[in-house]
Copies of this chain bind each other. A is one copy, B any other.
């Protein structure tokens, strides 16, 4: 396993009363789709109801932080407030420095967004040097790594319930 020491759940969490938003970018669609599926699968396994998993998209990862804010506010306006949001994006190093600046600014803003929104914002962004690295972390390369979307789903349920 490329990333060693993967953490285990410390207890069973129950997501049956939670509403979880998934906001994903649309670049690298096949990988994104697998990650979103992984997150949904884990959320369902932790008792989140399918109708309480709300999925929306933005164009790219740079739009994830502000898009998450707009998404969370819209759900609140609709009377269906979210208990956590999972922004999902796949960034892959290209020949310019675009990757570095997008990764850096997006990560910092998603970190701050937890504090701004007052609900857990999970870091569902892959920052990979190659396409293959991203595929492996989406569970798309048989026998190589697990689907990281599952970790993000689990983290969302845990962070949304643990400190209540």
* Supplied contacts A63-B120, A67-B159, 9 more A-B pairs, CB within 8 Å: A67-B162, A67-B163, A70-B159, A74-B163, A95-B129, A95-B133, A100-B127, A105-B107, A108-B108
**Does chain B have a CB within 8 A of A80?**
no
Q: What's the tally of chain A residues with a CB closer than 8 Å to chain B?
A: 72
- Which A residues from 91 to 128 make CB contacts under 8 A with B? 92-98, 100-112, 114-116, 120-121, 123, 126-128
Q: Tell me if B2 and A27 are in contact (CB < 8 A).
A: no
A–B Cβ pairs within 8 angstroms, 28 of them: A5-B31, A6-B27, A7-B26, A56-B162, A59-B154, A59-B158, A60-B155, A62-B111, A62-B123, A63-B155, A65-B111, A65-B115, A66-B114, A67-B163, A69-B115, A70-B159, A70-B162, A73-B163, A95-B129, A96-B133, A96-B137, A97-B128, A98-B126, A102-B123, A104-B107, A105-B110, A108-B111, A109-B112
Q: Given the interface contacts A111-B105, A128-B96, A129-B95, does A58 sit within 8 Å of B158 by beta carbon?
A: yes
* Residue in chain B with minimal CB distance to A121: B66
Copies in the complex: 5
> Is A50 located at the chain interface by the 8 A CB criterion?
no
Residues of B within 8 A of A63 (CB): 120, 155, 159
Residues 62-95 of A at the B interface (beta carbon under 8 Å): 62-63, 65-67, 69-71, 73-74, 90, 92-95
Chain B residues near A129 (CB, 8 Å)?
95-97
Given A59-B154, A70-B162, A123-B62, also A26-B10 (CB < 8 A) = yes
